[in-house]
Amino acid sequence: MLIEKVIRDTLELQVFRVASVERSAFGFMVDLAADRRFKPRCGVCGNKAVYRDTCSVRCFRHVPLWGIPVTVRYAPRRVNCHVCGGIHREPLPWTTGKHRLTNAYAIFLAYWARLMPWLEVSRLFHCAWNTVASAVKWAVAYGLTNRDISDVRYIGIDEIARRRGHTYVTNVYDLARARLLWSGDGRTHQTLQSFFSSWGQKSIDNIHGICCDMWNPYIDTITTYAPHAVLVFDKFHIIRHLMDAVDAVRRDEISAKGKEHKVLVTHTRYIWLKNPWNLTDKQKARLHALEKLNLKIYRAYILKESFREFWACTTREQAEHFLKHWFWIATHSRLKPMRDFAWLLRRHQTAILNYFDMPITNATVEGLNNKAKKISYKAYGYRTVSTFICNLYHGLAQLTLPKSMHSFV
């Protein structure tokens, strides 16, 4: 099989032809020429137009053959278009815009960039890191333009740390299909406002439920832009606040009673925080010995375990009754961290109880957040937030890659 045939089968030439293929020190140099049987077309409106002149030769990198670089060369023509008016360059079907990559090569690099760090892709295929980044950005732009978001009904909102120093990005996920919908820099009111502004009112009206943590900028923005949606506070974030309160009781008791008490309860932190069925035999024996000492931390532990029944409630009314009873016990326990947690529940009681009308959680979100962190770890971090967000879309948004004449992977 001739190399010219391979080029024709992998490039969208249409009204062009392969003039020649040469082997040089830089790889295969493929020269294209216009097929004189067809009139040139306008790159703006696509209609047939009158040839005017020829531009200088442009080079495009194509998918390597047997590890040998392939460069496509062509001198685009300019035409006088009488339909849209003016002088325009003819369309080049094998590339997009002013890219110096063929579409097939950009798809090829973008596919591998989902599986490997961009730097490794650039080393493997002997191209610059910026070339891989350009291919991914083009693929992401195509995927975002052509994705279907009409079926999004339940979304989860959470933030992840991009780097040290409280630098965050806010991610919005589709809970039903476990995909990233939107990502933005920061975790402020303006950040989430940017999501709702870009999402469009029709898509916002389709949202039935929103799950997030008890972060006030998120709450205020959601109630402003999506007041019709049911706001549900994430079950796992509530449990995390409860665990923090229990641990605060332990630390406060150690500070109040001094060194002797610290020796008594040393290495017991996870005994109070773990589920009872996950305790080892040694931890169970230690817990049984400590429960006889009337410690504050043990009272906090009992409160934590009793709160487990809240999630076993089957109706909103039953849950509301339990929460009222547990609130009274916690506020009269003389344990400040537990009292503060009880008042936190009281302030957000409506959204917490919404869980029993619409049982959605951010469990899917936490799993996708771990994948997002893995993307960052693989690349040893990103210097700019735009690059990080672009790779989040590429890896988590389930975007469709453009189709090419031939699949190279």
> Would you give the DSSP letter of residue 293?
G
pLDDT tens profile 370-385: 998 888 888 887 888 9
Q: According to the model, what pLDDT value does residue 147 have?
A: 92
In degrees and rounded to multiples of 5, residue 63 shows phi and psi of -60, 130
- The C-alpha R_g of the chain, in whole angstroms, comes to 30
- 300 in Cβ contact with 245 (< 8 Å): yes
Supply the pTM of this predicted model. Answer: 0.85
C-alpha distances out from residue 390 to 138, 282, 382, Å: 10, 48, 11
- 153 in Cβ contact with 168 (< 8 Å): no
Residue 257 in tokens: 């009673």
Look at residue 1 and tell me whether its pLDDT is greater than 60: no
- 11 in Cβ contact with 94 (< 8 Å): yes
C-alpha 208/C-alpha 228 separation (Å) is: 8
pLDDT tens profile 187-236: 899 999 999 999 988 999 999 999 998 889 999 999 999 999 999 999 99
Identify the H or E element spanning 220. helix 216-225
Look at residue 273 and tell me whether its pLDDT is greater than 70: yes
- Find all residues with CB under 8 Å of 25, minimum gap 6, and list them: none
Name the CA dihedral angle for 92, 24, 28, 4, rounded to a multiple of 10 degrees.
90
Label residue 199 exposed, middle or buried (CB < 10 Å: 0-12, 13-18, 19+).
buried
Nearest partner of 405 among 2, 14, 54, judged by Cα: 14
3-state secondary structure of 135: helix
- Find all residues with CB under 8 Å of 30, minimum gap 6, and list them: 7, 18, 20, 21, 62, 70, 71, 72, 73
Q: According to the model, what pLDDT value does residue 394 have?
A: 94
- 195 in Cβ contact with 182 (< 8 Å): yes
Question: What DSSP string runs through 261-284?
Answer: HHHHTTT-HHHHHS-GGG--HHHH
* Residue of higher predicted confidence among 389 and 289: 389
Reported confidence tier of residue 86, pLDDT bands at 50, 70, 90: confident
Label residue 212 exposed, middle or buried (CB < 10 Å: 0-12, 13-18, 19+).
buried
C-alpha 181/C-alpha 137 separation (Å) is: 16
Question: What DSSP string runs through 363-397?
Answer: HHHHHHHHHHHHHHHHTT--SSHHHHHHHHHHHHS
Q: According to the model, what pLDDT value does residue 184 have?
A: 92
Length of the chain: 409
Nearest partner of 181 among 162, 163, 155, judged by Cα: 155
pLDDT tens profile 18-38: 888 888 888 889 998 888 888
pLDDT tens profile 340-370: 999 999 999 999 999 999 999 888 898 998 9
Reported confidence tier of residue 409, pLDDT bands at 50, 70, 90: low
**Helix, strand and coil percent figures for the chain, each rounded to 5:** 50, 20, 30
Look at residue 135 and tell me whether its pLDDT is greater than 90: yes
Residue 237 in tokens: 């974030």
pLDDT tens profile 141-197: 999 999 999 899 999 999 988 877 778 899 999 999 999 999 999 889 999 999 999
Task: Report the percentage of the chain scoring pLDDT > 70.
Answer: 99
Q: What is the mean pLDDT of the chain?
A: 89
Residue 294 in tokens: 């009337």
pLDDT tens profile 119-129: 999 999 888 99
Residue 207 in tokens: 């949202």
Task: Report the percentage of the chain scoring pLDDT > 90.
Answer: 48
Residue 297 in tokens: 């931390």
- Find all residues with CB under 8 Å of 86, minimum gap 6, and list them: 44, 80
Q: According to the model, what pLDDT value does residue 108 have?
A: 92
Region of residue 364 (phi > 0: left; psi between -120 and 50: alpha; otherwise: beta): alpha
C-alpha 175/C-alpha 345 separation (Å) is: 24
Reported confidence tier of residue 405, pLDDT bands at 50, 70, 90: low
Q: Which residues pair with 22 in a beta bridge?
A: 29
Mean pLDDT along residues 100-106: 90
pLDDT tens profile 37-82: 888 888 888 888 888 888 899 999 998 888 888 999 999 988 888 8
